[in-house]
Chain A
Amino acid sequence: MISHAEAQALTSARLDAALDPVAERELVTHLSTCPSCRTFAEQSNALVSGLRELPYLPASPTVSRAVHSYIGKPRSPWAKLGTIVPLQGMPAFSAIAAALLVVFFSVFVYLRVDRTGTPLDPGNDDSETTEIGGFIEAPETTATFAIVETEQAEDRATESDADSATESSDPSATVEAESSDSTEPADDAQSTSLPEEDEPTSEPESTTASDSDETDAPPEPTVTIELAEPTQTSEEDATGQGTDPEPTDETNSVLTAP
């Protein structure tokens, strides 16, 4: 004999699918002796038949117009993208994309830090230029500037070398030869042949450049000259060389400060 709860469960299950013969027989037996379960069965049957007999609304022309009007519009490009790339089937797509972004950003940051944070190498042009950038302003903030200056200085160095080789009478060529003489004596034969005191106006610049180069590893001399020559006033303002009678000490103090 089944309980009331089991009888009601079987009554409900019978509305969804046919019961097996044993359960059907037990349910019928229980319903014949239990008025409350029989009432539940009758109400359940009334529910099913009543819902099936409920009136039915016709289709709404307002809704039809609105939906057809919406369908008639062309789809947006994003909807077409969704058709091409079924993002719903790839739940980890956004996570993978985010991870790749983080990896690329980390690699980029690592390369940048590694490039600027490398200790100075006497044979490395980047290190020298970084030091020159640090000499001008701040070493960390002028990292990009230093790299750009390196490329420009290399280009100008080749030009100035060519100029100094062909136009030895030019005052700028004299300055270049002067500083290159002080930093790299055996590199350029024409530079070493020129005297230092030929151009008094460019003496502080060349002296400063040579002093700054002497504090650290010997850099490329043409690079130093290129930085000093076009930005003469700015360097003077920054280091006080324009008014200081002894620019060497001032330059050294600036270099050792950071």
Chain B
Amino acid sequence: MTAPWAGVRPATTSGSKRVSLDDNNLVERARAGDQTAFALLFERFHAPVLNYLHRMVYDRALAEDLTQDTFIKAYNALPRTKPDLAFKAWLYRIATNTAISHLRRGKIVKWLPFLTDRETGDEAIERSVTRSTDINVAMSKLPQHYASALLLRHYQGLSLAETAHALDITENAAKLRLFRARKAFAVVYGAAPDGTGDEEIDR
């Protein structure tokens, strides 16, 4: 695969602690009305939120629109937040709610990315692409609350506490949801290509 997937995955939460301190400083300044600080936060979280929403809705244009909505909502709501705000989880919560509320309107058709380019000679790339395709297909068959939990935890690299905060649930509820999501994924992922086994997903 070539063109559209040229992005660089950002550092996860296991990176340096200085980043988190800078985030807190930027959040504090942005809350006080510093537009430059919010612009820096936007540059930092723009691509992760866009990719998360793209995995949620499977449509790049729609994901861009939802990303824009997410940051505008965050910009408007940030002055009213508490000082001990966990900005990253809060931002993903806005993104999740924006995507789910949009999907609940029932006007979304999931367009799966066309990743079946198997004509390359490299077997490793082919295997990777095949597995990505399978995972994409399996993820697209999961309920939204399961998909969002798995994406936040394993695709975006959020911690369990951050995932729970982003989903607005407790950590124990997040553990339970992740467990059910993994079971649902296993059912779909291990099912036949014709889609049998979908009815076994615990929704």
B82 touches A88 (CB 8 A): yes
B47 engages A59 (CB within 8 Å):
yes
Cβ–Cβ contact A83 & B79, under 8 A: yes
- Chain B residues with Cβ below 8 Å from A71 are 35, 38-39, 42, 75
Is B114 interfacial (CB-CB < 8 Å)? no
Q: A17 to B5, alpha carbons, bound, how many Å? A: 30
Contact B80 A82 (CB under 8 A): yes
> Does chain A have a CB within 8 A of B71?
yes
Given A16-B175, A51-B135, A53-B132 in contact, is the A79-B79 Cβ separation under 8 Å? yes
6 nearest interchain CB pairs?
Answer: A55-B5, A56-B7, A58-B7, A50-B135, A12-B179, A51-B154
44-73 of chain A: CB within 8 A of chain B: 44, 46-48, 50-60, 62-64, 66-68, 70-72
Interface pair B189/A43, CB less than 8 Å apart = yes
- The reply on A13 being an interface residue by CB < 8 A is yes
CB pair B50–A60 under 8 Å, yes or no, is yes
Q: Which residue of A8, A15, A58, A75 contacts B183 across the interface (Cβ within 8 Å)?
A: A8
Partner of A79, one of B5, B76, B153: B76
Q: Is B195 an interface residue (CB 8 A)?
A: no
Tell whether, in the assembled complex, residue B131 and residue A46 are in contact, meaning their CB atoms are under 8 Å apart.
yes
Separation in Å of the B146 CB from the closest CB of chain A? 11
B34 to chain A minimum Cβ distance, whole angstroms, is: 10
**How far is B9's CA from A59's CA once the two chains are assembled, in angstroms?**
11
Provided the pairs A44-B182, A66-B68 are in contact, do residues A56 and B9 lie with their beta carbons within 8 angstroms?
yes
CA distance A88 to B157 in the complex (A): 29
- Count residues of B near A (Cβ-Cβ below 8 Å): 58
Q: Is A16 a contact of B8 with CB atoms below 8 Å?
A: no
Chain B residue contacts of A70, Cβ below 8 A? 72, 75
Picked from A39, A40, A44, A60, the residue with its CB within 8 Å of the CB of B64 is A60
Whether B178 sits at the interface, judged by CB under 8 Å, is: yes
User: Which residue from chain A places its CB closest to the CB of B82 in the assembled complex?
Assistant: A89
Q: Apart from A16-B178, A88-B81, what 13 extra A-B contacts exist at CB < 8 Å? A: A12-B182, A39-B186, A47-B135, A50-B134, A52-B157, A54-B135, A56-B47, A58-B6, A60-B64, A64-B46, A67-B42, A67-B71, A67-B72
Which chain B residues numbered 53 to 82 have a C-beta less than 8 Å away from chain A?
A: 54-55, 60, 63-64, 67-68, 71-72, 75-76, 79-82
- Of B55, B76, B178, which one neighbours A54 at CB under 8 angstroms? B55
Asked if A87 lies at the interface with its beta carbon under 8 angstroms from chain B, I say yes
Min CB gap A179→B, angstroms: 68
Q: B50 contacts which chain A residues (CB < 8 A)?
A: 57, 59-60, 63
Decide if A50 touches B131 in the complex (CB within 8 Å). Answer: yes
